[in-house]
Amino acid sequence: MKSTTYIALVATIALGVSTVLAMASNRGPDFSTLDADANGEITMQELQASAATRFDEADTNADGFLDKAEIEARAAARSSDRATKMIERMDANADGKLSPEEMQTTRRNPARFFERMDADNSGTISQAEFDEARAKMQDRRAKRINKN
């Protein structure tokens, strides 16, 4: 019984943490969804309630546990939602498909990405340039998360 309680507690905490991370990275519930009483603040109870709801939604057989199939189904649903949003956002000719040209948005332009990483304008990206670009990207993400 103790191990079952422990596993349920760990799963609840993990879902709570994933809720916060998802919210911070714009991939999950927004602030207003988590602020259930709409008072402008999210309490630990509201966060736990959101995590419990997400767990219950994923626990399709209602046995109180998430098995591999349930986790995979939840991941597939999220992936499908993201793909749909990406097509809606980038499909300039509304044909339901993305061409290489449609994928070349400013945000995803490989040439622009390469130029930013090639700090010494050598036409190549060294390990040091790659590591520096990765560190800058992680720093920007951290600042964005802390800002929200």
The tens digit of pLDDT for each residue in 31-53 reads 888 888 988 888 888 888 988 99
- Residues in CB range of 64: below 8 A, 6 or more apart: 8
Does the model's pTM come out above 0.95?
Answer: no
The predicted pLDDT at position 33 comes to 84
The predicted pLDDT at position 84 comes to 93
Q: Which of 50, 17, 53 is nearest to 36 (CA)?
A: 50
As a whole number of angstroms, the longest Cα–Cα distance in the chain is: 63
Rounded CA separation 93/102 (Å) = 9
